[in-house]
Chain A
Amino acid sequence: MSGVSTHDSTAVHHDDHGHEHHKETFISKYVFSQDHKMIAKQFLITGIVMAVIAMLLSLLFRIQLAWPDKDFPLLEAFLGKWAEGGRISPDFYLALITIHGTIMVFFVLTAGLSGTFSNLLIPLQIGARDMASPFVNMLSYWFFFIACVIMMSSFFVQTGPASSGWTVYPPLSALPTAIAGSGLGMTLWLISMVLFVASSLMGALNYVSTVLNMRTKGMDLWKMPLTIWAFFLTAILGILSFPVLVSGVVLLIFDRSFGTSFYLSDIVLNGNILPNEGGSPILWQHLFWFLGHPEVYIVILPALGITSEVIATNARKPIFGYHAMVYSLIGIAVLSFIVWGHHMFITGMNPFLGGVFMITTLIIAVPSAVKTFNYLATLWRGNLRFTPAMLFAVGLVSFFISGGLTGIFLGNAALDINLHDTYFVVAHFHLVMGSAAIFGMLSGVYHWFPKMFGRMMDEKLGYLHFWLTFIGAYLVFFPMHFMGIDGVPRRYYAFTEFEFMQQWLTVNVFITWAAIISALAQVAFLWNFFHSMYYGKKTVQNPWDSNTLEWTAPVEHYHGNWIGEIPSVYRWPYDYSKPGHNEDFIPQTTPFSETMSSNLPHDFEGNAEAERIQAEWLIQNP
């Protein structure tokens, strides 16, 4: 990750401040940094690198899906025996979809998203010097980094990376000789994921403890920005669900390496009958999806939090229904633990149990709809500023609606029997948690880039990036709904062998071209990101006229965030366009005594003395 060690040229200007307290070497500043802001940048840049890799993997399998009968000699030059004769081999195709899913879900949208923005914003927005344990925070990044390296190293082993899908269902994952990818590649996958879980947990522990214990004076829970609420609940989800994945993985490791039969029974492998008896692959599905479902909310909640903040700031309006937003986040978080069975409707589960999971699943539509309505109501008649961050936030709302609607289809057990494992599912989750979450993340990058690097990103490139990606993502994923309704199964290597699927080949060509164009659009982002880091326009302290605490910290970074005392907080973070005030924003640090002309009765929360002073002022200033 060369970017980690070279970015932030502005650092040069303020180095002399840091020397008064403790000497920072290159290693302690950029590599083994314990400063949450630097760790956030490390997570972000590693996340971006992993996202680019996973995107390129998806292009490889898209090429195979679009042109299954065509040779691409260039592929053989790069991939060797995995693309003999210029065609992706079936084994490698499975490896590609597996690693694409794993990287996107875990490495980009979990670590890249939470790791970046929880780290950057939690201490800055609640008014803390750093995390509860900066050392554990540093470990969290380096475990993540090693997990990335191990995951990528599986591309350099003879038998290739893990190939049983990102959910690694046994028996494919439990029998090292089942398919090529079940061998060393699967072992590396498991090692990488254990390290990844350790990293996520260390991060999550810090986020929760910091939010609960280290808020500045006046920052009670109901004055926290919605970003913080979202990161906080995400971290709680991680703490409760990731250990369960570990317990499943441990059993899987014993099945793979020690001959136990937790998941294995009645297996015939290459003509040999295996002795394993009594195990149940469904047990893995239960343990996996008990993590797996909260995991999709771990992916989307931070994006929703970022969107709330960006939309309120750029609509110049208070977020609509702040309390409802918090309660619906809590509602989604709680419900996420009792819906995992909807991934398993066709495992032969008792139809009554299926009905229970169906009801809990459909209830999630309620808080999700509350959030959507509140976003739209915040936008309604606001003084909209279409910064790139705002566009991406609105894009998230769009994807969240169009992807969320198909969730209601899939949540129905009766419909799911038809739609399970078809492209309809692929379309659903790529819109609602893939595109939506990545748009939330990109929105956050555009919005907080000045906070991270002290410079602005280029707006025009941002618009180009947005429109190409937004249209491209719809063109890629929308046609997949129709393929799924027609029964086209996901993860199939080629559509040429089945007559009913052949008619979809032309659609595949269309989707692949759309994917290529969307991928090219990311070049605009990458150029913008890395170029602006050094040559972007210098930022002012509060470039978006925002209320939250992070913009009261100086543009230059100090380990400790604020010079002198940490600012106190007097009001909620969404006092935008408050009637009677001379500006259209009032930072959280402004006491009510300085805004007498705009104070409202409910601002004082029943404080009789404050109400009396306000009443007196109103009499004197009619």
Chain B
Amino acid sequence: MEDSSEDRVNVKARKFLMWLVVISSSMLFAGWTSGFMVYAAGSADQGLKVILPDVFKYSTAAMIVSSITMHMAYLSAKRLQFDKQKIYLILTILLGLLFFVLQVLAWRTLTEQGVFLVNYNASQSFIYIFTGAHLAHIIAGIGALVNALTGRLKNIAQVKNLYRLEMASIFWHFIDIVWIYLYVFLLLNQ
């Protein structure tokens, strides 16, 4: 029923779905950061009032490097260097996991400073909302990466391999940018 030209259209349309996911997810974070601004403007003692843990710097570095390895995986796949693709994908996943661990460590540093989620200055609660929601996205991103990796290991057709990889790649770069946005946002408000 479907000839190959229609299939191609369909892949393009489905990739576009991922861009729309990116847009709607951006609105989610835009909602929270706007909420933060409305809240913090409420009164003078409702600012962030905390020095952000240094761990965030390391996690940011991990995130940026993971974006680079992600792109390397994509380039390798395009050049049909499948072993390299595999290695870069695994690296990206590991960096994602590292990021996850670092964020949790940052939470520990924050709680040691007395900055808790349950807080009568909700600006500080917002740190946990931002990072927590972002980590939920990281989990989804790692899921997409694992999906691309298993596809590679099962040696699926190159069209499908590239499709899975592109979907994972769009999303992964997106959550990288979201984290940088959130971090800069927090830095500017600290």
Residues of chain A at the chain B interface (Cβ within 8 Å): 21, 129, 132-133, 136, 201, 204-206, 208-210, 212-214, 239-244, 246-248, 250-251, 254, 258-262, 275-280, 282-283, 286-287, 290, 559-560
Report whether A129 and B6 are in contact in the complex, using a CB–CB cutoff of 8 Å: yes
- 3 A-B pairs closest in CB distance: A247-B31, A132-B13, A213-B13
B17 interface hit (Cβ, 8 Å): yes
How would residues 61 to 94 of chain B score, 1 for a CB under 8 Å from any chain A CB and 0 otherwise?
0000000000000000000000000000000000
Report whether B118 and A259 are in contact in the complex, using a CB–CB cutoff of 8 Å: yes
* Contact residues of B between 90 and 113, Cβ < 8 Å to A: none
B10 interface hit (Cβ, 8 Å): yes
Report whether A209 and B129 are in contact in the complex, using a CB–CB cutoff of 8 Å: no
Report whether B23 and A278 are in contact in the complex, using a CB–CB cutoff of 8 Å: no
22 pairs, CB–CB < 8 Å, chain A vs chain B? A129-B2, A133-B13, A204-B20, A205-B17, A206-B17, A212-B13, A213-B12, A214-B13, A239-B27, A244-B28, A244-B30, A246-B28, A246-B31, A247-B32, A247-B35, A248-B31, A250-B133, A258-B117, A261-B119, A262-B35, A279-B122, A283-B38
Report whether B17 and A136 are in contact in the complex, using a CB–CB cutoff of 8 Å: yes
The residues of A that contact B39 with a CB separation of less than 8 Å are 262, 280, 283
A613 CA / B10 CA spacing, docked (Å): 37
The residues of B that contact A242 with a CB separation of less than 8 Å are 24
Question: What range describes how many residues of B lie at the interface?
Answer: 35 or more
A243 and B125 in contact, given A213-B9, A287-B35 (Cβ under 8 angstroms): no
The residues of A that contact B21 with a CB separation of less than 8 Å are 205
Within the complex, what minimum Cβ distance (angstroms) separates A153 from chain B? 26
Report whether A250 and B129 are in contact in the complex, using a CB–CB cutoff of 8 Å: yes
B46 interface hit (Cβ, 8 Å): yes
Report whether A260 and B17 are in contact in the complex, using a CB–CB cutoff of 8 Å: no
Report whether A129 and B35 are in contact in the complex, using a CB–CB cutoff of 8 Å: no
Within the complex, what minimum Cβ distance (angstroms) separates A134 from chain B? 10
A560 and B1 in contact, given A133-B17, A247-B32 (Cβ under 8 angstroms): yes
Report whether B23 and A239 are in contact in the complex, using a CB–CB cutoff of 8 Å: yes
Q: Is the interface of B mostly helix, strand, loop or mixed?
A: helix
Report whether A260 and B125 are in contact in the complex, using a CB–CB cutoff of 8 Å: yes
How would residues 33 to 52 of chain B score, 1 for a CB under 8 Å from any chain A CB and 0 otherwise?
01100110011001000000
Report whether A261 and B125 are in contact in the complex, using a CB–CB cutoff of 8 Å: yes
Within the complex, what minimum Cβ distance (angstroms) separates A248 from chain B? 7
A290 and B1 in contact, given A209-B20, A213-B12 (Cβ under 8 angstroms): no
B25 interface hit (Cβ, 8 Å): yes
B16 interface hit (Cβ, 8 Å): yes
The residues of B that contact A560 with a CB separation of less than 8 Å are 1-2
Report whether A278 and B14 are in contact in the complex, using a CB–CB cutoff of 8 Å: no
Report whether A278 and B2 are in contact in the complex, using a CB–CB cutoff of 8 Å: no
Q: Which residue of A lies closest to B6 (CB)?
A: A129
Report whether B122 and A262 are in contact in the complex, using a CB–CB cutoff of 8 Å: yes
Q: Which residue of A lies closest to B27 (CB)?
A: A243
A248 CA / B129 CA spacing, docked (Å): 11
Report whether A286 and B13 are in contact in the complex, using a CB–CB cutoff of 8 Å: no
Q: Which residue of A lies closest to B46 (CB)?
A: A278
- Checking B14, B30, B120 against A277 with a beta-carbon cut-off of 8 angstroms, the contacting residue is B120
Report whether B38 and A260 are in contact in the complex, using a CB–CB cutoff of 8 Å: no
Report whether B14 and A251 are in contact in the complex, using a CB–CB cutoff of 8 Å: no
A277 CA / B16 CA spacing, docked (Å): 44
Report whether B31 and A290 are in contact in the complex, using a CB–CB cutoff of 8 Å: yes
Report whether A214 and B9 are in contact in the complex, using a CB–CB cutoff of 8 Å: yes
Report whether B13 and A209 are in contact in the complex, using a CB–CB cutoff of 8 Å: yes
A127 CA / B113 CA spacing, docked (Å): 60
The residues of A that contact B42 with a CB separation of less than 8 Å are 278, 280
The residues of B that contact A132 with a CB separation of less than 8 Å are 10, 13-14, 16-17
